[in-house]
Amino acid sequence: ETGVTQTPRHLVMGMTNKKSLKCEQHLGHNAMYWYKQSAKKPLELMFVYNFKEQTENNSVPSRFSPECPNSSHLFLHLHTLQPEDSALYLCASSFGQAYSYEQYFGPGTRLTVT
């Protein structure tokens, strides 16, 4: 639908598991973002990558570890998560320098931590 895909769409994991979320954009964009969307809370920006370099980490706990091997792919590695980390995790991308243009979002990964 938007050229940004995310897998898996749904993930249930225990607090001791390690898993990874994947995002891929087919739009030729140079900036990529991870957001967390929780019920009744504003959208929270987690990480920003600009031309594969991480430019922002908004005080995200170390149990979340991003990786951007190239401008088209973005990963979020998860380990020893807490139940409060259950949320919809959204990936987005945009053209040019980060924040210069509108962002295009993927469908999200619905994460449940048990």
Size, binding site for other proteins by CB under 8 A: 22
Residue from 21, 34, 108, 113 that binds other proteins (CB under 8 A)? 108
**What are the E-state strand segments in 1-114?**
4-7, 10-13, 18-25, 31-37, 44-50, 53-57, 64-70, 73-79, 87-94, 104-105, 109-113
Selected range binding other proteins among 14-22, 39-47, 62-70, 71-79, rule: CB under 8 A: 39-47
Instruction: Give me 29's structure tokens.
Output: 């964009």
Residue from 38, 100, 112, 114 that binds other proteins (CB under 8 A)? 100
If you count them, how many residues does the chain have?
114
CB of 53 to other proteins, least distance (A): 16
β-pairing, 44-50 vs 53-57, is antiparallel
Residues binding other proteins (CB under 8 A): 1-2, 4, 6, 41-43, 45, 48, 56, 90, 92, 99-100, 102-108, 110
